[in-house]
Amino acid sequence: MDISNLREEYTQAGLSRANLLSNPFEQFELWFRQAQQAQLAEPNAMSLATASAQSAPTLRTVLLKCFDDNGFVFFTNYSSNKARDISDNPQVALMFPWVALERQVVIQGRAEKISTAESLRYFTSRPADSQLGAWVSNQSSVITGRKVLEMKLAQMKQKFRDGKIPMPDFWGGYRVVPEKIEFWQGRPSRLHDRFLYSRQDSQWHIDRLAP
């Protein structure tokens, strides 16, 4: 199938050094709010790239649940493939594909577990079905069919029917502490605007990159 003629011209906006905020987290928050205002589907969906100890890469979509000047937080099963990769090689990358706005944000950094207290705070805010889901799925393991999940869910509902659902000790959050954050804005003729924030000691240095 030849799809080489699929092509869009990016004309919505431009990005200049003069309009960038000096703090990349504030710049990210600005763009994130604009993605929300544009009513993009799940603007917090981000691609997470990891690599194993043998340098085999894996990519999947996860949901951003918190961000501040310390980094970007997502949650997962600590026995999942992504968790095993992070244990072997904590260097990861994130990418927000805000295609409808002709934008993307790429983040490179180090993933580290957040505290149990932070994970518990988020876990208790989740709907009960989501809390149960954390108990049901041995994430990334091979299963014989969906019936296995449905039976396990019924068991968990019965087990915790009389009280609060506790947080599993095999579940929690990771914070990606960024070393580089790139803001990409599509432009005509493929001459896109790209600005890279690089952490240098406690300061952020900004460079324009060729498209």
Q: What is the pLDDT of residue 202?
A: 86
Q: What is the pLDDT of residue 12?
A: 96
Q: What is the pLDDT of residue 138?
A: 83
Which amino acid, residue 193? D
**74 with 174: CB under 8 angstroms?**
yes
Residue 181 has pLDDT above 90, yes or no: yes
In angstroms, the Cα distances linking 58 to 76, 105, 158, 180, 207 are 15, 19, 36, 20, 28
**192 with 208: CB under 8 angstroms?**
no
Tokens in use for 175? 């914070």
Residue 26 has pLDDT above 90, yes or no: yes
Q: Which residue has the higher pLDDT, 139 or 54?
A: 54
Tokens in use for 179? 């070393």
Confidence at 163, pLDDT banded by 50, 70, 90:
confident
Burial 35-70 (b: 16+ CB within 10 A, else e): beeeebeebbebebbbbeeeeeeeeeebebebbeee
Give catalytic status of residue 84 as yes or no.
no
**140 with 80: CB under 8 angstroms?**
yes
Q: Which residues pair with 21 in a beta bridge?
A: none
Q: What is the pLDDT of residue 158?
A: 93
Tokens in use for 16? 């200049």
Q: What is the pLDDT of residue 143?
A: 87
Tokens in use for 187? 């432009």
pLDDT digits (tens, 9 = 90+) for 119-146: 999 999 999 999 999 999 888 888 899 9
pTM of the model: 0.94
Q: What is the pLDDT of residue 140?
A: 82
Closest CA to 208 of 10, 14, 8, 4: 14
Q: Among residues of the chain, what percentage have pLDDT more than 90?
A: 93
What mean pLDDT do residues 52-67 have?
Answer: 97
Q: What is the pLDDT of residue 65?
A: 98
From the candidates 190, 194, 199, 208, which is the catalytic residue?
Answer: 190
Q: What is the mean pLDDT of the chain?
A: 96
pLDDT digits (tens, 9 = 90+) for 62-108: 999 999 999 999 999 999 999 999 999 999 999 999 999 999 999 99
